[in-house]
Structure 1
Amino acid sequence: MGGNFTIYKRYVAIYFFILCMRYRAGIVTDEMMTIPKLPFLIIGILEALGVASGMSSGAMLPGPAIPVLNQTFLVWQLGFSTLLLGRKYSWNKIAGCLLVAAGVVVAVASGPDSGQLLSGVGFVWPSLMIASSSFQAAASILKEFVFIDAANRIKSMQGKSLDIFVVNSFGSGFQALFVLLFLPFLSNLKGIPFSQLPQYLKSGAGCFFNIGSQTLGCDGAPLLPLLYIVTNIAFNISLLNLLKISSAIVSSVVVMSSVPVAIYILSLPLPYLPEGVSLSPFFLFGSVILVLGLILYNIPQPLKQESQVD
C-alpha cells in the first residue's frame, strides 16, 4: 500500500509536467485550463474508491479471478451511459453485455469442490472487486462527459478539442488526494495502526527504490515499478485518447479483448509470481462465454440503426 501511494505521486508529477510542457507549447490553451473542476473532483473520488476497494479485494483473490471479475466494468458502463448520457443501445450490445455478465458468474462460480477457483474465498472479496469496477466505470463515463461538455463550452479553439492531459492531470491529482485521505481506512483494514502509517509509507518508498535494510519482498525494484509506471502511463494515455475520439464503451471493449491473454498469463508460474493457478473447467467455460459476449457486442449494425444507437 505504501509503495502504491509512492507510485501515484509519481503519476501525478509526470502528468502535470507533461501538461505544463504542452501549455508552454501552446497545445493546451488558457480556455482549456479554466473548464470546471468539479467533474474532476468527482472523478478523483470515484477512482480513489475503485483503487481502495480493488486493492483490498485483489490481495484476497487468486490472480486469474481478477480480470474476469473486472469484466463487470462493461455492464456498469452500459448502465451508467444510459443513465447519465442518455445513450441507447442495439440488441447485440445489450445481449453481448448480458453474456459478459453470465461469463463472469460461470467463471467464478464456486462450490464444495476444492478445485473451484474461489473455493475458500469469502463472498465479500469478489463483491468488493465488482464494486471497484462500478466506481471505475462511473469515472470513465464522467470523463466522456467532460470531453462532450468541453466541446460545447470552448467555442474559440479553432477546431481543437480538449487536450487529454488536462483530463489525465486533474483527474489523477484528485485521485491521489483522495487515496491519501483513504489511507487511514485502508491501513486499519490491513491491521496497521494509524500511528504506524508514516513509517509504513516510508518503508513503501524504500521498497519502491529497493534501498534500506528492510526490503524483503521487493525483488525487481526499482526496475519493475518503473516499468510498471511507464507501461501504465502509456496505456492510460492511449485509452483516454480512444475515449476522446470514440466513447467509453468502445474503449472498454478494446481493453477487454486482452482478457483471454491476461487470464492465461496470470495462471502461469511467472518469475515474480511463482505460484501458478490451475484453471478449472468452470473458469475456462465462463471465459469462453465472456469472449463470445465481447464478439457479439462488436457485431456491426446497419448504418441507419447505428445512427440511433451507440
Structure 2
Amino acid sequence: MNRLAGCFLVASGVVLAVASGSDSDQMLSGVGIFWPAMMIASSAFQAVASIVKESVLLDATPRLKGKLLDIFVVNSFGSRFQALFVLLFLPLLSNLKGIPLTELPSYLKSGAACFFNVGTNTTGCDGAPILSLLYIIVNIVFNISVLNLLKYSSAIVSSLAVMSSVPISIYILSLPLSYLPEGAILSPYFVLGSVILMVGLVLYNISWPLKQD
C-alpha cells in the first residue's frame, strides 16, 4: 500500500506543481489541468521503455554468464530506435504543425543552420552551437544516470525519478539564467506540489531494497 500511495503522491505532486500558475504574473499562468494530465499520460511510454530496458538488463545476466551488460550499449540502442521513430513520424508531425511535406527539407536545413549557428539568415539562435552541444551532453548524462538507477533498482523507481525532474526543470527555467528571459515567479502551490512529490518518492522507496550485484 505504501508503494501505491507513493506512486499516487508523485503523480499528484507533478500535476499540482505544473498546474500551479493561476495568476497572470507567474511562470505557469494559464496552464490548466489538461496539459499536466496529458504529461502524466505520455509518461506511460517512458515507463514502458524502462520496463523493456529492465528486462534487457535482467536477461543479459544469464546470457553473459554473470557479466554485467554495459549501460552505454543499452543507451546507444535506445537512442538509435528513438531517432528511427522520430524520422518515421516526421511526416505526421510536420502535418500536425501545418508544414507541408514538400517544405520539410527546407525546415530541416534551416534547423541545422540554427543548430550550428551558421549562415546569414539564422535568427533566434543565440548561444549556438555551445548551447546546442551542452543540451546534447546533459541529455546523454541524464539518460545514462537513469539507466544506472534502473540497473540497481527497478523500472518503477526509474520512472518516478524521471517524473521528479519535471518540477526541477521548471524551477531552473524560472531562474534568471543567460539566454533566458528574466526570472519568473512560482506559485506557493508549486512548492507544495514539489514537497508532495518528494514525500511520494520517499514513501515508495522506504522499504524497497536495492538490487545486489
State TM-score, norm by structure 2: 0.82
1:219 alignment counterpart? 126
CA contact (8 A) 1:93 1:298 kept: yes
Letter in 1 for 2:69: L
Letter in 2 for 1:245: Y
2:158 alignment counterpart? 251
CA contact (8 A) 1:115 1:280 kept: no
1:217-253 Cα deviation digits (max 9, x unpaired): 1111111111221222222223213312332233345
CA contact (8 A) 2:14 2:167 kept: no
Q: Which residue of the other structure, out of 28, 43, 61, is the alignment partner of 1:151? A: 61
Q: How does 1:146-185 map to 2 (within 5 A)?
A: 146-152=56-62, 154=63, 157-185=64-92
CA contact (8 A) 1:144 1:248 kept: yes
Looking at structure 2, the residues matched to 190 and 202 of structure 1 have their Cα atoms a distance apart, in angstroms, of 17
1:61-80 Cα deviation digits (max 9, x unpaired): xxxxxxxxxxxxxxxxxxxx
Identity, in percent, stands at 71
Looking at structure 2, the residues matched to 187 and 289 of structure 1 have their Cα atoms a distance apart, in angstroms, of 38
1:195 alignment counterpart? 102
Looking at structure 1, the residues matched to 141 and 56 of structure 2 have their Cα atoms a distance apart, in angstroms, of 21
* Equivalent residues, number: 210
Letter in 2 for 1:221: A
Unmatched 5+ residue regions in structure 2? none
SS of equivalent residue, structure 1 residue 220: coil
Question: Is 1:142 matched up with 2:49?
Answer: no
Q: Deviation of residue 149 (structure 1)?
A: 2.4
1:61-110 Cα deviation digits (max 9, x unpaired): xxxxxxxxxxxxxxxxxxxxxxxxxxxxxx32222212122223433446
State TM-score, norm by structure 1: 0.59
Looking at structure 2, the residues matched to 253 and 129 of structure 1 have their Cα atoms a distance apart, in angstroms, of 13
CA contact (8 A) 1:141 1:248 kept: yes
1:39 alignment counterpart? none
Distance 1:121 1:299, change over 3 A: closer
Unmatched 5+ residue regions in structure 1? 1-90
Distance 1:258 1:195, change over 3 A: closer
1:260-285 Cα deviation digits (max 9, x unpaired): 64343221232122143321122222
Question: Is 1:126 matched up with 2:36?
Answer: yes
Looking at structure 2, the residues matched to 188 and 198 of structure 1 have their Cα atoms a distance apart, in angstroms, of 14
SS of equivalent residue, structure 2 residue 98: coil
Letter in 2 for 1:271: S
Letter in 1 for 2:107: Y
Which 10-residue stretch deviates more, 211-220 or 259-268?
259-268
Looking at structure 2, the residues matched to 166 and 200 of structure 1 have their Cα atoms a distance apart, in angstroms, of 32
Distance 1:135 1:228, change over 3 A: same
